[in-house]
Every structure is written in structure tokens, then in C-alpha cells.
Amino acid sequence: MSAADARAVAAFERHLAAERGLSPHTLRAYVSEARRLAESPECTRAGGLARVDALGVRAYLAGFHRAHKASTRNRRLAALRAFFRFAVKTGVRALDPTEGLPGARAERRLPGPFSFEDCERLIEADDPERAPGLALRDRALFEVLYGTGVRVGELAKLRVRDWDAYRGELRVVGKGNKERVIPLPGQSRDALEAWLRSRPAEGRLAQPLFTNARGGALSDRGVRVILRRRMLVAGVAGRASPHALRHSYATHLLDADVDLRAIQELLGHERLSTTQRYTKISPERLSRAYRSAHPRAKG
């Protein structure tokens, strides 16, 4: 990689860290992708990042066609789009070579939410081997995950001060540092308050809302471990994915005839199309819609 390309990649990294509000994982992935392109034969032959054209970028991405899924190739393209837009904005380039490049067509997979009954079993499950404090935490954890639909990464960032007990709302900071406020159902509020009362009051506001055994923030992996244990206790089959609770939250709201745009706001999605892919319309809702709308189904 040339010195000019190294400077361009370093400036891109500073921009992402200071202005975009990306997660550390996404930031590293974007910078690594720009660096990989700079070191590629396609870029070297063209004379560097300031000169590589659309054909060069396309040839670079084509090298991953067999080795990676469509979703991975699209993430690579998204990283390069971000880099070249920044390059145009800062005057390193006049044109963006990724403009108009089509993304790979990813296979659409229907999300696999838990049924309402399975969600109830996960929340209500009695684990006799759990210590009382951990039992309170686990109950509150699943009440909040299913009661708000927050991402696990968002959950890990929550502090006790983000909980407004008077209003019964959680302040959540999502992707791109966008903030949203989510109301909690009554039973979720009660479970969360019981968990908080079990913890020492001193300095509590600054502490993570959900803690592990050492008092640190509960991680994504920690939530998966707890969910796997809970599913065994509750007799719920399936893959132990916390994201399934987010799918369940969205799908069950949709089944209750909540407006899709309201669900979009609650989930923190930038685009409505993302929310549409996220939700799974149940056969019950389709049947209900048919009976109420089709003239031959009435009566």
C-alpha cells in the first residue's frame, strides 16, 4: 500500500470514529475493507485508491464471489461505498467508483420468531437451581428483551439511569447513536423493578442495567448462555438466538394490528422495508384479514 493510500485509509478511520457513531466491530470491518482494496492487485495496477475505477472495484469484489455469501459481499460493498463517498467529500477523488454498482442478490430468509406461548414459557420458567438474585435478573432480562424488542448490543449499553420508572420507559441508543424511547409493559416494569431492588443502591444509576456475576455488563454471549439454559428449563425447542425474541416482539405486535410504522420506530429501523422483512405475518392474521376484507368470506 502506498503512503498516499495509507493516509487516505487513516483519515477514513478517524472520520468513522468521530462522526459516524459506528460500533467498534463495524468500524474495524470498514477500515479493513478499504485497506484490503488498497493492497489488492486491482488497485495497485490502477495506481492506488485515488485512481481505481468501477471495473477495478468490480473485479476486486468478484474475487469473493465463490468464497463468500451474498450478504458478506454486500457488506464489503457497503464498506467500500462509505470509503469512496468520504474520498469524494474530502477531495481525494472526483467520482465514486462504487456508484451504480449493484449489490449481490441475497437469499431472503423468513425470520423464525418464538410463538407467543413459547415466549410466555421462557419468561415464566422456574429454574430451581438459580440463586434468588440471578433468578430475578433472568426474569427481568427476558421481560425486557421480549417487552421492548431491543437488540442484544443495545441491551449491553443500557445503564440503570436509562430506565424511567415514573414513565415506565427505556431510553435506548441504537445504531448510528440514534436514540429512541420504548415503553415497557406492566409485567416487564414489575420484573425490572424487582431486579433493581435486589441490587445495592449506592452508585447504581451508572451501573449496567443487566450485570454478569462479576458486576460488568452482560454480554451478547452471556445472554445466549442464559437463553440456552432457560429454553432447556422451559422445554422450548429451537435455536437459542436472542434475536428471535426481537423477531417475536415485532411479529406479535403486528399480529395485534399495531401499525407497521409504529413498529419501525420501536425497533429503531431506518427503513420501513427492513421492518417488513423483520416481521412474520402469522397464518392467524392472514386468516383474520381475509375474513374481514374478502366479500365471499363474510358471514
Convert the pLDDT of each residue in 207-265 to its tens digit: 999 988 888 888 888 989 998 998 888 888 877 788 888 888 888 888 888 888 888 88
Range in 27-36, 52-61, 101-110, 206-215 the model is least confident about: 101-110
Known catalytic residue: 58? no
Cα–Cα distance, 99 to 58 (Å, whole number): 11
Catalytic pick among 246, 247, 249, 252: 246
The per-residue pLDDT for range 85-96, each reduced to its tens digit, is 988 888 888 888
With left for phi above 0 and alpha for psi between -120 and 50, is residue 47 left, alpha or beta?
A: left
For the beta carbon of residue 233, count every other beta carbon within 10 angstroms: 17
Known catalytic residue: 109? no
Known catalytic residue: 269? yes
Catalytic pick among 151, 189, 230, 247: 151
Q: Which among 43, 13, 40, 14 has a CA at the least distance from the CA of 28? A: 13
The per-residue pLDDT for range 36-55, each reduced to its tens digit, is 888 888 888 888 888 888 88
Catalytic pick among 58, 85, 243, 277: 243
Stated pTM of the model:
0.60
Cβ atoms of residues 154 and 144 within 8 Å: no
Known catalytic residue: 93? no
Domain boundaries, the chain: 3-89, 116-289
Task: Give the cell for residue 13.
Answer: 478511520
CATH class label, 116-289: mainly alpha
